[in-house]
Amino acid sequence: MDRENQTVISEFLLLGLSSQPEQQKILFWLFLCVYLVTVFGNLLIMLAIGLDARLHSPMYFFLANLSFVDICFSSVTIPKMLINHISKSNSISYVECMIQMYFFITFINMDGFLLVVMAYDRYMAICRPLHYATVMRPGLCILLVAISWVITNLHALLHTLLMAQLMNRGNLTSVSEFLLLGLSRWPEHQQLLFPLFLGMYLITVIGNLLIILAICSNVNLHSPMYFFLINLSFTDICFISTTVPKMLMNLYSQDYTISYVKCLTQMYFFTLFVGLDDFLLGMMAYDRYIAICRPLHYSMVMSPRICILFVSGSWIITNSCSLLHTLLVNQLSFCEENIIPHFFCDLSAMLKLSCSDTYVNDLEIIIVGGFLVGAPFILIIVSYIHIILAILKIPSTGGKYKAFSTCGSHLCSVSIFYGTLMGVYFLPSSTHLDNLDMLAAIFYTILTPMLNPFIYSLRNQDMQNSLRLFLNKRTFFFR
């Protein structure tokens, strides 16, 4: 953050391609046509690939992703240019500029990654045709695209945060770091907390990694339900890794400081992965609803393309919302007070520290945060109402008990996660107590990711068999 008193600018001026009115009219219609051709052309490609089962191959999977990225890429810049022409205003706000830059970097890099992956796909098909089906299997294709999304988003975020650092936030003395008080300031408590949370972290990471490896190694589990479970396990590993390692380092080193940039980065990834958890829990509930209440339509509704689209859409939405949260916080001024009574850079705790007006931030939390949390939660409730009604129609008492037991475990996890999350972020700030907020945060940031492997896997016979088979193979290998 800037330390000096400088003039603050809140918007930029985009000069466009030409200042001549007659040229602007020609350019407007030219780029409008180019944009429409790009969108409709790529949409047709995606629809054709999605509807024709003969095109469900790696090459066309990458092509569908490339078409989607191209639509997003052109939508980052051209619509704003066209709006500026219609409104006769060439200005763009600071936040809009940062968001545009973030997505421009993301999608241009995604284009590059996908073109490389498509070239590799053609190399395997032409130069190694006998190994093509083994190498370019669906799991690897999905992994390549997912890794591309993660790398490009990280790269874009780094650029955006570094650029945001160049902008002054106000004529106030800014802080360069914050102090995370953690869970306790008593040394004897810290000696107990360190091994406790280290153990919980290791259980979470190892448990979720075992789930991912067991599902990937067993072709019988390559179904939508387990596809979502893999994504949930990966998200839970990332989710807990956002906060706990820093807390453990603080406990071990007795240094509770965190720099401004690291704090914003932690807040970004925390918001990202908590949003992904929300969406994945909602998708898993919807998957179970289709499987139990609409079994004849299951293979059509929950097709691989739809599942990938759900997860990809969740990544894009949560990344957008996380970036918006981060940029709006970066607009705030932080004065002398830099103590965060928490074990991570929590959004609500940071807003309390700001000496700026946080009305826009509070409004954004209610609107955007309400969508991220509320939409999946409503989907879960509606899905389980239909599931319970369907289970009540099962004639077998044993079948009812088994189904209710599975649903009860899922709903227990959902209740812990959503109950504590909503209590922290959507109740009036006057009702909040720091200790209670911290306790609630432990439930949804640490306990829920740790319990998910047990809830979604150990109560599942197929998952137990797959884990046992996977571990037996590894044991035999090391003999």
- The answer to whether 465 touches 415, Cβ cutoff 8 Å, is no
Q: Which two tokens stand for residue 132?
A: 């093509």
Confidence of residue 329 (pLDDT cuts 50, 70, 90): confident
**123 vs 10, residue with greater confidence:** 123
pLDDT at site 376: 86
Average pLDDT over residues 185-201: 76
- Among 12-26, 272-286, 317-331, 404-418, the minimum mean pLDDT is found in 12-26
Query: What is this structure's pTM?
Result: 0.70
Mean pLDDT over all residues of the chain?
A: 79
**Position 198 pLDDT exceeds 80:** yes
Q: How far is CA 412 from CA 74, 132, 407, 436, in A?
A: 43, 44, 8, 20
- pLDDT tens digits, one per residue of 334-386: 877 778 887 888 887 888 888 878 888 888 778 877 787 788 888 888 888 88
CA distance 169 to 5: 9
Give the Cα separation of 64 and 60 in Å (integer). 6
1-171 and 176-479 share one fold? yes
Helix ranges, 181-222 (H): 187-217
Q: Is 180 left (phi over 0), alpha (psi -120 to 50) or beta?
A: beta
User: What residue segments make up the domains of the chain, in order of their start?
Assistant: 1-171, 176-479
CATH code that applies to domain 176-479: 1.20.1070.10
Alpha carbon distance 159, 162 (integer Å):
5
pLDDT band at 235, cuts 50/70/90? very high
Amino acid letter at 440? Answer: A
Backbone dihedral region for residue 476 (phi beyond 0: left; psi -120 to 50: alpha; all else: beta): alpha
Least confident residue range of 12-26, 28-42, 219-233: 12-26
Contact 89, 13 (CB under 8 A): no
Greatest mean pLDDT among 198-207, 301-310, 447-456 lies in 198-207
Can you point out the beta strands (E) in 305-393?
339-340
Average pLDDT over residues 144-151: 84
- Stated as kind and residue range, the H or E segment containing 297 is none
DSSP string computed for 211-264 = HHHHHHH-GGG-SHHHHHHHHHHHHHHHHHHHHHHHHHHHHHH---EEEHHHHH
Q: What is the mean pLDDT of residues 399-403?
A: 67
State the pLDDT confidence band at 210, using cuts at 50, 70 and 90: confident
1-171 adopts what CATH topology?
Rhopdopsin 7-helix transmembrane proteins (1.20.1070)
Q: Write the pLDDT tens digit of every residue in 77-115.
A: 888 877 777 777 777 777 778 888 888 888 988 989 899
Residue % of the chain over a pLDDT of 90: 6
Q: Where are the alpha helices (DSSP H) in 91-186?
A: 94-127, 132-135, 138-165
pLDDT tens track for 166-187 = 654 444 445 667 778 766 655 5
DSSP state, residue 265 = H
The dihedral built from the CA positions of residue 268, 449, 231 and 238, taken in this order, carries a sign that is positive
Q: What's the whole-number mean pLDDT along residues 299-323?
A: 84
CA distance 464 to 297: 28
Chain length of the chain: 479
Query: SS3 sequence, 19-63?
Result: CCHHHHHHHHHHHHHHHHHHHHHHHHHHHHHHHCHHHCCHHHHHH
* pLDDT beyond 70 at 16: no
50: amino acid identity, one letter: G
Give the ranges where 254-340 is alpha helix by DSSP (H).
260-293, 298-301, 304-330
